[in-house]
Structure 1
C-alpha cells in the first residue's frame, strides 16, 4: 500500500503567496524530488479557502508518495531529507504534516 506524506503550509509573514509558491516549486522542489524511494511529488497552490475566503489560512499543499512505510522511513533517514528540511528552518509560517496510507478510490494504479 502506498504511503504519503501530506504537507499543508502557509507562507512566512513577509512573503507573498507568489513568492512562497515559486520557492516551493523551485529550490525546495529541487531538493525534495531527489529523496530516495520517492514515487510521486505533487504540489498544489491554494486558490480558494472555502472556510476563510477573505484571508486564506494556507498557501499550498504537497503530497510525497512512497511505496511503503519502510521506503518513507529510509527517505527520512537520508542526507537528502536533511538537506530538504534544512531549507525550512526558521522560515515562519505554519504547517501540518500527516503520514497517510493511501488507496486510489478510482481503482487505477497511478502514483503520478
Structure 2
C-alpha cells in the first residue's frame, strides 16, 4: 500500500513530517500483519519545485491481500485513520503489486 499525502494548509512541511513520523507512525506501526513501514518526506518536486504537490509518502507492506484486508477491518486501522479526519490535508491510497526491477524479485 502506498500513501501520498499533503499537509493541512495551516501546517508547515516540518510539522506534518514530525506528526507523520511521530504520533501517526505510532498508531500505524501496530497494524496487524504489517511487515514493513517506510516514510519519505518530499525534499524536491521536479514537476513543481516552487510548490510541491505532496509532502510525503508511506509504503506499508503486508504479506498478501488477505493480511491487508484484515488490517483494513481492524480497530488499529480505524484508530490510525481517525487521526486524519478533519485535518484538511489530502491523500491518495494506492494498493500495488510490487516488483523489484533491479533484481526481478516479485514482492507482490
Under TM normalisation by the shorter chain, which class is it? over 0.9
Q: What is the RMSD computed on CA atoms of the aligned residues?
A: 1.4
* 2:50 paired with 1:46: no
1:27 equivalenced with 2:23 (yes/no): yes
Q: Which structure 1 segments of 5+ residues have no match?
A: none
User: Higher relative CO (CA 8 A, sep ≥ 6), structure 1 or 2?
Assistant: 1
2:14 is aligned to: 18
Identify unmatched segments of 5+ residues in structure 2.
none
Deviates further, 96-105 or 41-50? 96-105
Q: After the TM superposition, which of the residue ranges 90-99 and 21-30 deviates more from structure 2?
A: 90-99
Q: How many residues align?
A: 106
CA distance in 2, matches of 1:49, 1:107: 27
CA distance in 2, matches of 1:69, 1:106: 24
Distance 2:24 2:17 in 1: 10
Question: Aligned ranges for residues 1-112 of structure 1 at < 5 Å?
Answer: 5-107=1-103
